């Protein structure tokens, strides 16, 4: 007997909150931050946090592939796997997000973690990011995105592709069976990432970072299971089998830019009965709650504001770029860098390359200015 739709949606929403709560707690404890990892490399040639992030990606890819291959979820139905590759949007959005997160001192996830630790500055950044994200989803920026960027795309479906995964690409190019191609690509990516992240003795000795990388990767895969398996069921009104409790109406995992916009929308239009809590909204709140729990438990909770007017200016500009870039690139460092990459979507690799390039370029400009001064 199929559970009623409200029950399925509740499972997805509360499941998303629980996963994000753990994600926020672990990220706070381990100082997990993609921008911080890139900054460590550019400024100090230190790869510890980057290895943790790459380990998380490896685990997320392995666990997500296992779910897909065993038929637990259909990752091909996720937004990032649609057989249309809007490469210009992914590049521009990724670059904008990378620049923005560097100007803001951290990505969307890091600002949610900081908010849980008492940062009023991060609250302001998140509000402005949410406004920019909403404008890119449904407002002025969205009109520009839809008219100028999104139409520049490659229609893979016209060539017979069912999705845009690397496994499908290998199957089409190499003439392999789809399942074998998926296993081969996933195995190659996982082994390469594990070899690089674990080859450093100091990193292997850091139990917090190793355990955190593994746990964060598993949480991303668990997100696919919650929305793509537990939340997949019959709609009692239309009798169609659909995904419940997500903003995209399909399966989702952890991502934080678009969901901040939907969170702001729900708070502003609370009496609109057509709006409901979703997995994304619950995830935003869950990260803050998980981080706050660790901050209070370790007595590291501190109120934090802006250092100067220049700091405020940079943070707000960065927030706007993150909101625009995160929606345009279909995700942030977590939404594309972990969740998207875990599906091996070609577009996720393009978006992530843009994010990294934008951040590294901005870090080098900042370093050059400091040297000039």
The domain limits of the chain are: 5-372
Is residue 261 within 8 Å of residue 137, measured between CB atoms?
yes
Look-up: residue for tokens 């409901």?
A: 276
The residue-averaged pLDDT of 304-330 equals 95
Give the CA distances from residue 266 to residues 192, 263, 270, in Å, rounded to whole numbers and listed in that order. 42, 5, 5
**Pairwise CA distance, residues 366 & 361, whole Å:** 9
Is residue 93 within 8 Å of residue 326, measured between CB atoms?
yes
Reduce the DSSP state of residue 141 to 3 states and report it.
helix
**Pairwise CA distance, residues 139 & 308, whole Å:** 31
**Pairwise CA distance, residues 89 & 96, whole Å:** 10
**What's residue 328's pLDDT?**
98
What is the pLDDT confidence band of residue 111, given thresholds at 50, 70 and 90?
very high
**Pairwise CA distance, residues 98 & 362, whole Å:** 8
What is the average pLDDT value for the chain, to the nearest integer? 95
Is residue 340 within 8 Å of residue 331, measured between CB atoms?
yes
Higher pLDDT, 2 or 346: 346
**What's residue 7's pLDDT?**
85
Strand locations in the chain (E): 84-85, 154-155, 232-234, 241-243
Which pair of tokens denotes residue 98? 């990378």
Which pair of tokens denotes residue 64? 């997500």
- Residue 45, CA atoms < 13 Å, CB-side half-sphere: 0
- For 275, phi then psi, to 5°, come to -95, 140
What is the pLDDT confidence band of residue 27, given thresholds at 50, 70 and 90?
very high
**What's residue 156's pLDDT?**
96
pLDDT greater than 50 at residue 13? yes
pTM, full prediction:
0.95
**What's residue 236's pLDDT?**
76
CA angle 129, 338, 320 (to 5 degrees): 15
pLDDT greater than 60 at residue 1? no
Work out the burial of residue 72: count CB atoms within 10 Å of its CB; fewer than 13 is exposed, 13-18 middle, 19 or more buried.
middle
pLDDT greater than 60 at residue 2? no
pLDDT greater than 70 at residue 272? yes
pLDDT greater than 80 at residue 289? yes
**What's residue 241's pLDDT?**
86
135-142 long-range contacts, CB within 8 A, separation 24+: 135/323, 135/324, 136/323, 136/324, 136/327, 136/328, 137/258, 137/261, 137/327, 141/324, 141/327, 142/327
**What's residue 6's pLDDT?**
60
pLDDT greater than 80 at residue 137? yes
**What's residue 237's pLDDT?**
74
pLDDT greater than 80 at residue 100? yes
pLDDT greater than 70 at residue 270? yes
pLDDT greater than 90 at residue 234? no
**What's residue 4's pLDDT?**
52
**What's residue 346's pLDDT?**
97
What is the pLDDT confidence band of residue 209, given thresholds at 50, 70 and 90?
very high
Look-up: residue for tokens 């065993």?
A: 70
């Amino acid at each position: 007997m199929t559970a009623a739709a409200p029950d399925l949606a509740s499972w997805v929403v509360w499941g998303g909150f629980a996963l994000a709560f753990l994600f926020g707690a672990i990220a706070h404890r381990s100082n997990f931050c993609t921008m911080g990892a890139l900054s460590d490399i550019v400024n100090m040639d230190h790869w510890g946090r980057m290895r943790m992030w790459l380990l998380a990606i490896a685990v997320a890819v392995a666990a997500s592939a296992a779910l897909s291959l065993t038929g637990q979820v259909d990752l091909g139905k996720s937004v990032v796997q649609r057989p249309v590759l809007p490469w210009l949007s992914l590049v521009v959005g990724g670059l904008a997000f990378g620049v923005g997160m560097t100007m803001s001192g951290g990505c969307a996830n890091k600002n949610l973690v900081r908010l849980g630790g008492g940062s009023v500055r991060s609250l302001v950044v998140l509000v402005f990011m949410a406004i920019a994200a909403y404008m890119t989803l449904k407002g002025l920026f969205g009109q520009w995105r839809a008219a100028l960027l999104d139409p520049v795309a490659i229609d893979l479906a016209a060539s017979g592709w069912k999705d845009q995964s690397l496994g499908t690409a290998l199957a089409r190019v190499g003439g392999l069976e789809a399942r074998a191609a998926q296993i081969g690509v996933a195995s190659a990516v996982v082994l390469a990432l594990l070899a690089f992240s674990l080859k450093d003795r100091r990193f292997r000795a850091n139990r917090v970072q190793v355990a955190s990388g593994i746990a964060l990767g598993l949480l991303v895969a668990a997100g696919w299971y919650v929305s793509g398996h537990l939340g997949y069921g019959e709609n009692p009104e239309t009798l169609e089998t659909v995904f419940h409790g997500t903003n995209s109406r399909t399966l989702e995992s952890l991502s934080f830019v678009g969901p901040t916009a939907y969170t702001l929308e729900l708070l502003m239009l609370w009496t609109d009965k057509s709006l409901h809590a979703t997995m994304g909204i619950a995830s935003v709140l869950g990260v803050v709650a998980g981080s706050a729990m660790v901050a209070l438990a370790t007595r590291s909770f501190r109120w934090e504001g802006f250092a100067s007017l220049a700091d405020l200016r940079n943070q707000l500009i960065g927030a706007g770029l993150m909101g625009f870039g995160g929606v345009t690139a279909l995700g942030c460092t977590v939404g594309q860098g972990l969740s998207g990459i875990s599906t091996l979507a070609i577009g996720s690799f393009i978006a992530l390359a843009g994010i990294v390039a934008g951040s590294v370029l901005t870090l080098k400009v900042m370093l050059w200015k400091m040297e000039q001064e």
